[in-house]
Amino acid sequence: MYWCELATPVGTLLLAGSAAALTRVHFQSGPRPLHPHKEWRHDAVPFAPVIEQLKEYFAGDRREFELPLAPAGTPFQLLVWQALRAIPYGETRSYAQLAQHIGQGGARAVGLANGANPLPIIVPCHRVIGADGSLTGFGGGLRTKRFLLALEGAACVADLCSASAMPPAGAGAHH
* pTM reported for the whole predicted model: 0.86
**CB distance 42 to 26 below 8 Å:** no
Q: Are strands 2-8 and 41-42 parallel, antiparallel or unpaired?
A: parallel
- The confidence score (pLDDT) of residue 172 equals 40
- The confidence score (pLDDT) of residue 158 equals 53
Sign of CA dihedral 61, 66, 68, 70: positive
Torsion of CA 78, 79, 80, 85, to 10 degrees: 90
Domains annotated on the chain, with CATH: 2-58 (3.30.160), 75-151 (1.10.10.10)
**CB distance 155 to 92 below 8 Å:** yes
pLDDT along the chain (175 residues), means of 10: 96 96 94 92 97 97 96 96 95 93 90 95 94 84 90 72 45 37
To the query of whether residue 156 is one of the catalytic residues in this protein, the response is no
- The confidence score (pLDDT) of residue 104 equals 86
Catalytic annotation, pick one of 4, 125, 156, 161:
125
